[in-house]
Structure 1
Amino acid sequence: MNKKQHYDLPNIIKNDFFLFGKIHLILLFAIILSANAIVIIVYKTRMLIAEEEKLRIEVKKKNEEWRNLIIEKNTLSMPPID
């Protein structure tokens, strides 16, 4: 009788990776780490850009308020016209 030989394919693949593919696992790990670092850096950069924009708007409002106060001061300090 012909007996079919069964192989434990997942176990064979795992053993091949650990015996012959260590560099591949290291590279895969490095790729995953660098991809995560890129995502985190992009997120933080976007948050900083949004914060910068808010600060620019606040500075613009403060400058407008300052100009209005200067105009008001100049108007109030003018002598009355008779």
Structure 2
Amino acid sequence: MISNYRYTLITIISRDIIRQGKIVYFLFISVLISAVFVVIITHNTRLLIIQREQLFIARIALDVEWRNLLLEENVLGDHIRIEQIAIKKLHMQYIDPCKENILIK
């Protein structure tokens, strides 16, 4: 008699693996493990690429800020500006050469 029992795919595969031997089982497990590692490594690679891009964007922003600070330093350290601040705010003035006293040791 023919039985009407239906086998599931998992039972068919497991029976086949048991019948064929341990080498096929070992190779199957090896393929699954290597596939999992490929997925993990690909995911980590993508995360590192994203982090590299974020660091590159931060580097560009810091470079722009550094250039702006250099410009600001040049403007604030200009001799003419310092002289104007000294004359206006501190009421400093140039010494007349006639009123100048020179000390000699």
TM-score bracket relative to the smaller structure: 0.7 to 0.9
Q: Distance in 2 between matches of 1:13 and 1:55?
A: 48
Give 1:77's aligned residue: 77
Q: Which residue of 1 aligns with 2:22?
A: 22
Structure 1 position 55 matched with structure 2 position 22:
no
* Gaps in structure 2 of 5+ consecutive residues: 85-105
Aligned residue pair count: 78
Q: Is there any run of 5+ residues in structure 1 with no aligned partner, and where?
A: none
Q: Rg bigger for which structure?
A: 2
Per-residue deviation, 1:23:
1.1
Q: Note the aligned Cα RMSD (angstroms).
A: 2.6
Residue by residue, what CA displacement relative to the aligned partner does 1:30-54 show, whole Å, maximum 9, x if unpaired?
0000000000000000001100110
Whole-Å Cα distance in 2 between the matches of residues 25 and 79 of structure 1?
82
> What TM-score, normalized by structure 1, do the two folds share?
0.77
What residue number does 2:66 align with? 66
Identical residues among aligned pairs (%): 35
Higher relative contact order (CA 8 A, sep 6+): 1
Equivalent AA in structure 1 for residue 25 of structure 2? L
Aligned to 2:32: 32
Scaled by the length of structure 2, the TM-score of the pair is 0.61
Give a deviation string over 1:8-59, Cα, whole Å, max 9, x none: 8967875553243321111110000000000000000000110011001001
- Write the distance in 2 (CA, Å) between the matches of 1:48 and 1:33: 22
Runs in 1 of length 4+ with deviation above 4 angstroms? 8-16
**Higher helix share goes to which structure?**
1
